[in-house]
Amino acid sequence: MDALPTAILKPFSGSGARAMMIDTLKTHGPDSFAGNLTSVFRGSADTTFYIIAVYFGAVGIKNTRYSVGAMLLADLAGIITAVAVSYLFFG
């Protein structure tokens, strides 16, 4: 799957995921299934570790043990849902 690297990179780096999306769009075209899927991946989740570092740090939360697991599980749910929605609308 050509769009999967974007989904894997999204929790770590928003700008890296954007660069991967642009590369996929240049390689396969914006109207291809891979282009549509990578665009849906890009919008289906947020940058998990940025949220932990900035937002949790701003309010003084120090114990993020269970939050990281819950957020990564939500990212996985977003990836699975993005694949299902993309096959429904574009496949």
What are the extents of the domains in the chain?
A: 4-90
pLDDT (tens place) for every residue of the chain, 91 residues total: 788 999 999 999 989 999 999 999 999 999 999 999 999 998 888 899 888 889 999 999 888 889 999 999 999 999 999 999 999 999 8
State the Cα–Cα distance between residues 78 and 55, nearest whole angstrom.
21
CB-based contact 10:37 (threshold 8 Å): no
DSSP codes, 21-85: HHHHHHHH-TTSHHHHHHHHHHHH---HHHIIIIIIHHHT----HHHHHHHHHHHHHHHHHHHHH
